[in-house]
Structure 1
């Protein structure tokens, strides 16, 4: 098998993709030692065309394929697409419209986060050869076996897509997946602005001083990781950001006394810049601190019990519908519903409200009950006796 290694070959292949009903896409990349993912291979398959593209080939320009990804007339099919979408978003080619077969599998009753090989096994009755699974995709040349393994990721995907889409259309659940794809292709999910890096973490306090330093250190780490093209964790661990924000070290000695900061960190090339970031944040913490809402825990004594009941209801309704419960609601959604009937949560909007949210509110009002029927939980309506009329005076 010969991969595409020139811009002319790529342009000719992309001409074949124009007018296709869809194109299945996958990537192979490396990022264990880098901040930015290193794109090593692109696989693409449509009903009448398929190819492996070598992004590392000298002089190749990926623009013809990126234009296909941007073409909203051609649906793009991925499996577990988030990291692939991140790569193409970095290349200014957000793939829309997108269909993620892992999310579709959740809606079709194949469980939560079903693996690609498991979905192929269950739907196509094919066992994927995994012998090339741990290939170093950055090494050249790649063998025919490695290229065939990579291409199979999209040839099987091209077979799965019509089957899954048809199944969801028949069950009236295609819109469920479409809703998820809107979120998956939201560029905000892939924001790499250092000033927003704190959002990926979990601040443990809410004072202005803590939050200002927390944001500043997270931004410093993000900028440093990007400039050096190193993983964030190699620059500074997440727990160190929290400890620095809590202790606010003002000098090298104070920084070195922190348990989560590597020994001798203050004397490294990073130490002085980090301390400068802390000092800058402390000049006006009220102005620099991000404004965040405190996470709402149970706000009344029975709220914890309500959340547990909602978990059982969610599991029951997911089993009834043959859907992965994670697709319908998260524990955070349940906590919000337990505290507020009008909570701004996806579980109380659209198809999720119909599948679960409305019943969740009924359960809170005592209009539904959970009954154990053997090994299965049933949801039953509660018939309330009419209130007795007051005796005539």
Structure 2
């Protein structure tokens, strides 16, 4: 375990000489808003190590410098949460990166395959998962727990080598590169409190209800971040829905709501919620949020969507790609309704070459589907 800044600096200097390194993190976030980083695991082709970010004698600055080193490829599996932690603590996004979960989908290993399944299918090794639910804040950690943590980066070296080779042989490396550009974008992690209401299930439809929900959700988001506690500890979703429907304009009205604990309406948080309700209701009607009504699908769009589903399945089986990488059901519905004008990724870049162009030809009646020799195939008309 690396526990001092000098050890970490020397380690990162050695790792910077490699063309790629594998990385994983262990964290806890059940009781906090921001994930609490508990371990960092790293490996080069020659060595592997564990860093203890909870050590009082360790500054993560050398690690962040390594993450910013563009000469070193950083390899993760299911990278998003690891990148979110690094972005929050170091104000940077590692570059360049390679996500083996995304690469595995491009190589035909199915949608969102887990790390242990991917390791087993590519290397034959089996990972002991008994330490998966460890409290990684506890010290000291056992040898078994440390071995489990280290396995997350040692097997990843072999997985990366295999996937990279397959991508290069199949000419699909640029497919993964497009997905990595999304993961490396700060907008992926820089979520604004004013957009927090969009993550809630939309039980409401009226503009004034949506306006209240937007203001209360934004207040909760800011409060949870500032106090570093889960959103539900500040205010539960059910309370937000009830407040949005009932619009309590004073503490007494707030206290009468079923989902509000007795006396909470007199707290500082209760007063802040009442202020947010009144602010939301004071907006001019034209400034209140509205839900976009789904456009009426043209006649035949439902049947066209079913044809596109068959074409997508045929395409993914032919090229050995997970369907999720190309399009989801909503994308297919939009293509069926809007054709060339559909704003979906399936009609851009390599996805258009693989599927989108054929989908448009199918909708225009230029291509037919037929079942022959136990498989579906497209036929030019």
Per the shorter chain, which TM-score range?
A: over 0.9
- Take 1:90 and 1:112, find their aligned partners in 2: how far apart are those partners? 28
Match of 2:27, SS? strand
* Cα distance in 1 between the residues matched to 2:294 and 2:141: 52
Contact 1:363–1:369 (CA under 8 A) maintained in structure 2 = yes
Counterparts of 2:177 and 2:293, CA distance in 1: 29
| SS of equivalent residue, structure 2 residue 109 | coil
> What secondary structure does 2:157 align onto?
helix
SS of residue paired to 2:3: coil
Hey, what's the Cα distance between the residues in 1 that align with 2:373 and 2:274?
Answer: 62
Q: Give the distance between the partners of 1:29 and 1:103, measured in 2 at CA.
A: 22
Shift of residue 215, structure 1, vs aligned partner: 1.8
Equivalent-residue separation in structure 2 for 1:14 and 1:217 (angstroms): 44
In the alignment, the residues of structure 2 paired with residue 361 and residue 79 of structure 1 have an alpha-carbon distance, to the nearest angstrom, of 34
Q: Please give the alpha-carbon distance, in whole angstroms, between the structure 2 residues aligned to 1:376 and 1:266.
A: 64
SS in 2 for 1:47: coil
| Aligned-partner Cα distance in 2 for 1:172–1:17 | 29
1:289 and 1:89, CA in 2 relative to 1: closer, same or farther beyond 3 A?
A: farther
Q: Using the TM superposition, give the Cα deviation of residue 267 of structure 1 relative to its aligned residue in structure 2, in angstroms.
A: 4.5
Choose the corresponding residue for 2:313, options 312, 315, 324. Answer: 315
- Aligned partner of 2:283 in structure 1 is 284
TM-score (structure 1 length as normaliser): 0.90
Shift of the alpha carbon at 1:242?
3.9
Q: Which residue of 2 aligns with 1:329?
A: 327
Structure 2 residue aligned with 1:387? none
Distance 2:370 2:204 in 1: 41
Aligned to 1:45: 43
Instruction: Please list the CA deviations of residues 78-121 of structure 1 after superposition, one character each: whole Å capped at 9, or x if unmatched.
Output: 00111111101102131111100000000001000001011110
Q: 1:335 to 1:110 in 2, by over 3 A?
A: same
The whole-number CA distance in structure 1 between the counterparts of 2:49 and 2:32 is 27
RMSD: 2.1
Separation in 2 of the partners of 1:374 and 1:244? 60
2:86 corresponds to which residue? 88
The answer (yes or no) to whether the contact 1:296–1:336 under 8 Å persists in 2 is: no
- Bigger drift between 243-252 and 93-102 goes to 243-252
Normalising by structure 2, we get a TM-score of: 0.92
Change (3 A) 1:36 1:369: same
Matches within 5 A, 1:47-196: 47-91=45-89, 92-196=91-195
Aligned with 2:57: secondary structure? coil
Cα deviation, residue 251, structure 1: 3.0
Q: Answer yes or no: is the 8 Å Cα contact 1:29–1:40 preserved in 2.
A: yes
Unaligned runs of 5+ in 2: none
Worse-superposed segment, 227-236 or 79-88: 227-236
Following superposition, the deviation at residue 270 of structure 1 comes to: 2.7
1:266 corresponds in structure 2 to 265
Cα 1:362/1:151, change in 2 over 3 Å: same
* Cα deviation, residue 196, structure 1: 3.0
Deviations 1:242-275 (A, max 9, x none): 443344232345445555x344353555322111
